[in-house]
Structure 1
Amino acid sequence: MDANLRFWRAEGQSFLQRFLLWADVLDPLLLLRSSDEIRRARLLIQNSEPVQNDQTKQAFLLSLSSVHPDTDKIIPVIFRPPAFLPMCLPLVIVSSLQLQAKPTFFWQFVFHTYTTGFTLLNGNGTAKAEEYSVQQKQILCGLGAISYAACVGALPLVFVNRYALKTSLTELVVRKLLPAPLLGLMCAFTAVVVRSPEFENGIEVMDRNGKVVGLSQKAGEKAVKETALSRAVLFGTTFFLPAVLMPFVERAKIAKTPRALATMRMLAVMSVLAGMLPVSLSMFPQCGEIKRADLEPEILSSTEETELFYNRGI
């Protein structure tokens, strides 16, 4: 079993443990570490038990933030977990403005392109069946999902502008109520589409000693569902809470100018996204568990373990 998964299994049993770990792993300063430092950290933790001392802990955090546990490859900088917040924040803020249909489509297209690339590079990397064709399918399906998600995000504005439905009720529905569930649903949709090979071809499941016992479609389905749900909660909440809070700010006249109001809106989005990111990542264990009885018959016959493990991905 990879050192990253061993660490999550040992130190990430409860939601609180996972939350505190993700708070450390998401530190943007980890993006400044060089590839040589990451490789040295990996060498240090290969045979280390989590967590022996501060040096070992820092090595584990660097590995968790930079290395894919299935492929043992260093993840490109902009797609590492610590880069997720800095990259997504401006895109989420611009997308939340809900100005016109065309700008909304463009910014949501850019936003979904980034999150889909992040999902592709941080998902489970053990789905077999001709690796090249799997990656090609993921890219093509991802492009289709990105375009569809951006269209759905801009569709309410197109509808309102085309049919001149600009009453207070439609403004409330289109600009306040619809964006949160639509964005959450589309983020979950793109995650499911780009990681579809995982539940079509299966992912590796391991016993408690790290020995691979087979490929499981059911484990792949469970991993993808959990990731999609956490992504929907993250961005749905990020859009929903500021939309609910800002009318109270306007009525209280805390911000007396449009510029101050826009600043407060950005601060609200930033605060919710920064708080919800470790929460959403902590909803499910990173080293996922699945009961033996829930697996395919061919895997049941190859092990007597009651629980098996897999990499859930991000």
Structure 2
Amino acid sequence: FSLCWPCLKVVRVSLCGQISMSVAPLQITEPQSFFSRYLRWLDVLDPTALLSSEAEVENSRALLEKLGSASKYLTQDKKVNDAQKLCEASLHPDTGNAITTLFRPPAFMLCGTPLAIAALLPHTRTIPAFLSQFLFHTYNAGFTFYNRNVTCKPNKIQPFQPMLLFGYATYFSVLGALPQYLMNKFPSAAMQTFMGRILPVPLVTILSAMNVVAVRLQETEDGIEIKDKSGHVIGVSSQAGSKAVKETALSRAMLMGITAMIPVALHPLLSRSRFILRNSKALGPIKCVATALTFGAMIPVSFGLFPRQGTILRSELEVELQGNTTDSVLFYHRGL
């Protein structure tokens, strides 16, 4: 994958109203408001975090372990804040284990941007359209898999899970490339307009959400762990699993839907401008840049749309779990 997406300049601000999110064996802080979560994700998505060595990650983990719950009161300390940022960018919230570098949150911008450009911009042939869709959906499936909730205890063993992920990516790629196939087969003006400008936006939005649901379907069936405010596990809930998957699917659909809409919306505006009328070949690069900027800007919006530590009311849980606690609100890890 091309790692050429420029680093965003992050402006540090004071984040107010934070709550503690337990991350075995760590504790990190998560802002409550959407705007604060957005700013925090801008910080966490710094691509330079991918260059950190294992020793640096372990040192950050050790610092947070040493501070324990006191770390949430020291967020203005640069050393503590940097340690939290590096742990959020490198470690899985459920296990505390390091995530494969290619699928860490900061890598999503670097790897996902060129793949999104290739998948969203028009092609002239079906095979290149399919290949770009396949790479895009394969990476998205891998990212979703590595950043899912791993507290799900499957009732059935799935020995062919990698093949299932490959099958999901192939299926979504075929659907994604279908408009290009129909445009080549039926070259009428109406078909070109519908398949080239109208259908792609809702199609990529739906497929992006379906990608998340397909990869994390097991969480909705077998459930995920839910905890009380003290961090004690009170059971495994499929209702919480369904809510976690739904929120993640909605955030991913918003990311891709808005990214796909920008080049389509810009086309009629740019095509009538004097600059494009004189330099028609510049339209393609401009749309590529617009797609890349939109995708990069929407990633922290998508990741921060819902808190990573999701909440669910006790009344929404299964009847057999409601008697396990007196807390009115329970918590779970949503995933990305």
Q: TM-score, normalised by structure 1?
A: 0.93
Q: Helix, strand or coil: the match of 1:38? A: helix
1:137-184 Cα offsets, whole Å, 9 max, x none, are 54333222211111111112212322x3331x3222111111111111
Which residue is equivalent to 2:14? Answer: none
SS at match of 1:308: strand
Alignment of 1:260-275 (within 5 A): 260-275=282-297
Instruction: Tell me whether 1:195 sits opposite 2:216 in the alignment.
Output: yes
Aligned residues of 1:285 and 1:312 also touching (Cα < 8 A): yes
Counterpart amino acid of 1:73? N
Residues of 2 paired with 1:241 and 1:74: CA distance? 35
Partners of 1:78 and 1:207 lie apart in 2 by 33
Q: Percent identity?
A: 39
In the TM superposition, what is the alpha-carbon distance from 1:5 to its structure 2 partner? 8.2
Query: Aligned to 2:84, what secondary structure does the other structure show?
Result: helix
Matched, 1:91 2:111: no
RCO comparison, higher one (Cα < 8 Å, 6+): 1
Aligned residue in 2 for 1:210:
231
- Which of 197, 204, 207 is residue 186 of structure 1 equivalent to? 207
* 1:115-154 superposed matches below 5 A: 115-129=140-154, 133-134=157-158, 136=159, 138-154=161-177
Moved over 4 A (4+): 3-6
Contact 2:27–2:64, Cα closer than 8 Å, also in 1: no
The match for 1:246 among 267, 273, 280 is: 267
Count of residue pairs the alignment pairs up: 308
CA deviation map 1:18-65 (0-9, x unaligned): 100101011101110011111111111121422511110100000000
- Give 1:281's match in structure 2, choosing from 303, 311, 325: 303
Aligned to 1:304: 326
Q: Structure 1 residues 5, 217: CA separation in 2 closer, same or farther (over 3 Å shift)? A: farther
Per-residue CA deviations over 1:92-151 (Å, capped at 9, x if unaligned) read 1112222121111111001100000000000101001369x35x4543332222111111
Matched, 1:23 2:42: yes
Instruction: Please tell me whether residue 156 in structure 1 is matched to residue 175 in structure 2.
Output: no
- Give unmatched runs, 5+ long, in structure 1: none
State the SS of the aligned residue for 2:335: coil
Structure 2: 5+ residue runs without aligned partners? 1-21
Aligned residues of 2:26 and 2:96 also touching (Cα < 8 A): no
TM-score, structure 2 as length reference: 0.87
Correspondence for 2:59 among 40, 45, 55 = 40
Equivalent residues of 2:149, 2:224 under 8 A apart: yes
Residue 5 to residue 269, structure 1, CA distance change in 2 (3 Å): farther
Paired with 1:13 and 1:238, the residues of 2 have a C-alpha distance of: 26
Structure with the higher fraction of residues in helix conformation: 1
Give me the CA root mean square deviation.
Answer: 1.7
